[in-house]
Chain A
Amino acid sequence: AQKITQTQPGMFVQEKEAVTLDCTYDTSDPSYGLFWYKQPSSGEMIFLIYQGSYDQQNATEGRYSLNFQKARKSANLVISASQLGDSAMYFCAMRLTTTGNQFYFGTGTSLTVIP
């Protein structure tokens, strides 16, 4: 069963605008972590931001913020003031305490920033 769902295969955003990349997850575990990674065309996987299931506040890292809505099981990534360098694939991932080391990845969203 799909544990992480990213429904937007491709997104476009104007430079300097904000964009939201959707991610929903499926688990009944009370303890889990949610992560976003960026994969530019050069291929490396870059960790962006993390949200713990018990965290009361939404995570923020610079221009990245994670809109965590626990009841809706969503963990959307918000990128503010988009830059051309933000053009990349973005992956949402989840880690469950019960499965120890297993990370579950979504299928990714390709973001293109238009000048």
Chain B
Amino acid sequence: DTAVSQTPKYLVTQMGNDKSIKCEQNLGHDTMYWYKQDSKKFLKIMFSYNNKELIINETVPNRFSPKSPDKAHLNLHINSLELGDSAVYFCASSQSPGLATDTQYFGPGTRLTVL
């Protein structure tokens, strides 16, 4: 069974389009995250949700909007896609907030290419 899953795995789209990436975790974790990994492999946190509540919202263009319908799902919607949005987007989850010992588990990633 896949612990953290993302769909789609690959996404190729034109500039200006709107797209969504879905994430689901079956680990029973309370906290979920979105990361962006650029072409230099640098991982940047974008958002974090705990029990459907937004708790981390880094400096990200407001074209990016996360939505958490329940604690097992965290979707990422991107409006008006730009060339610079091309990257790999990772979803991750962890057990609970405030615990330094808490391990984060990643989904397989979604490679977004904006043409």
Contact = CB atoms under 8 A, between A and B. Distances in A.
Nearest to A46: B106
Range of interface residues on chain A? Answer: 20 to 34
Contact of A91 (B33, B43, B101, B109): B43
Contacts of B50: 101
8 contacts: A29-B100, A33-B100, A43-B108, A45-B90, A45-B92, A50-B103, A105-B43, A107-B40
Interface residues of B, number: 28
A12 interface: no
Interface residue SS majority, chain B: strand
A81 B41 CA distance: 26
A7 B97 CA distance: 29
What are the 4 closest A-B residue pairs judged by CB atoms, nearest first?
A: A45-B106, A33-B100, A105-B43, A100-B97
Contacts, number: 68
Interface string A43-66: 111110010110000000000000
A8 interface: no
Interface in A89-115: 89, 91, 93, 95-97, 100-103, 105, 107-108
